[in-house]
Amino acid sequence: MNIILYIIIFIMGSVFGSFLTLATYRIPLNEDITHKHSYCPKCNHKLSFLDMIPILSYLCIKGRCRYCKAKISPRYFIIEILCGLSFVLLALTLGVNVYTINANVIINFILGALYIVFLFLIAGIDIEHHYIDKRVLVYGIVVLFFSLIYEFIYGQDFNVNRVVIYFVIIMIVLLVNTFEIKKKGKDSYAINIILLCFIMTMFTYEIVTIISIIMTLFMIAFYEIIDSIVKKNKDKNKEQKIPIAFYLCIANCITIFITNVILI
């Protein structure tokens, strides 16, 4: 029975992953992500239901558009699988199974899943465009708000002072960013990284964010070393922006799964 439950959870995650591929493509373009019909970005042909089945559609059409035969980026396929696996890992690390399902477990899983979606959105947009979209940050704050409400009503370790302090800091960071936008005409990537870290801290714990930051630094250092070796004979003067938010979200996701296992 548990296997069936985890298969269902994987399918749910892959469906969210399919939506995430759409959202990470459209949000930077300021396109609607809920009402506008899915289409091929190459030929603009509307996709049918059979074209949008997570994972299976990509395999059946062999990674190419059924209409214009243009190659579809494998990132769609990869994100759907990773999101499905992340949902399963979340369920496993939270101890979700057919014998423990109750309202508390379901709510914790839903909030955790929505947070993972937030991390995937931030990471997906950052790796492609190297910026953090304010609308996605707002979505993260909304998920955080509902999480805190649930923790306040049913949790035993709710710390009002901690929540107030962090919310005040977040408001100050947002205010500073507003002045930065007025001054330079664009968002500050560094300030948004700080805001992302505070959202992560409030949703999890300080130690989780600290470990995530340390892991991020190691991943960036490792990438830079490999990149310098691979591009040893190439143009070294070409400026390459590091997608810090991408690495931070991946590190945070991994840290959450590990700490959940420890706490079970």
Residue 245 has pLDDT above 90, yes or no: yes
Please check whether residues 248 and 139 belong to one and the same domain: yes
Give me the domain span that covers residue 167. 133-264
Please check whether residues 183 and 88 belong to one and the same domain: no
Q: How many domains does the chain have?
A: 2
Please check whether residues 138 and 95 belong to one and the same domain: no
Phi-psi region of 133 (alpha: psi -120 to 50; beta: other; left: phi over 0): beta
Residue 127 lies in a domain: no
Residue 109 lies in a domain: no
Q: Which two tokens stand for residue 135?
A: 């609308």
Please check whether residues 157 and 264 belong to one and the same domain: yes
Residue 263 has pLDDT above 70, yes or no: no
Please check whether residues 176 and 236 belong to one and the same domain: yes
Mean pLDDT score, 220-249? 77
Please check whether residues 65 and 142 belong to one and the same domain: no
Please check whether residues 182 and 86 belong to one and the same domain: no
Q: Quick one: pLDDT at residue 50? A: 72
Please check whether residues 84 and 140 belong to one and the same domain: no
Of 79, 101, 123, which residue is a domain's last? 101
Instruction: Write out pLDDT tens, residues 156-210.
Output: 677 888 888 888 888 888 888 888 777 777 778 888 999 999 999 988 888 999 9
Please check whether residues 182 and 61 belong to one and the same domain: no
Residue 247 has pLDDT above 90, yes or no: yes
Q: Quick one: pLDDT at residue 239? A: 60
Highest mean pLDDT among 13-27, 61-75, 113-127: 113-127
**CB of 220 closer than 8 Å to CB of 247:** yes
State which amino acid sits at residue 151.
E
83-97, 110-124, 152-166, 243-257: range with lowest mean pLDDT: 152-166
DSSP assignment of 101-126: --HHHHHHHHHHHHHHHHHHHHHHHH
Please check whether residues 256 and 157 belong to one and the same domain: yes
Please check whether residues 20 and 96 belong to one and the same domain: yes
216 compared with 259, residue with greater pLDDT: 216
Q: Which two tokens stand for residue 208?
A: 């989780």
Residue 117 lies in a domain: no
Residue 110 lies in a domain: no
Summary count for the chain: helices (H), strands (E): 9, 0
**CB of 90 closer than 8 Å to CB of 212:** no
Residue 210 lies in a domain: yes
Residue 144 has pLDDT above 80, yes or no: yes
Residue 150 lies in a domain: yes
**CB of 72 closer than 8 Å to CB of 80:** no
114 pLDDT tier (thresholds 50, 70, 90) = very high
Residue 127 has pLDDT above 70, yes or no: yes
Give pTM, 2 decimals: 0.87
Query: d(Cα 51, Cα 58) in Å, to the nearest integer?
Result: 8
Mean pLDDT score, 63-67? 80
Report the candidate in 141, 144, 245, 241 with the shortest Cα–Cα distance to residue 192.
Answer: 245
Residue 122 lies in a domain: no
Residue 213 lies in a domain: yes
Residue with tokens 């996605």: 136
Please check whether residues 139 and 253 belong to one and the same domain: yes
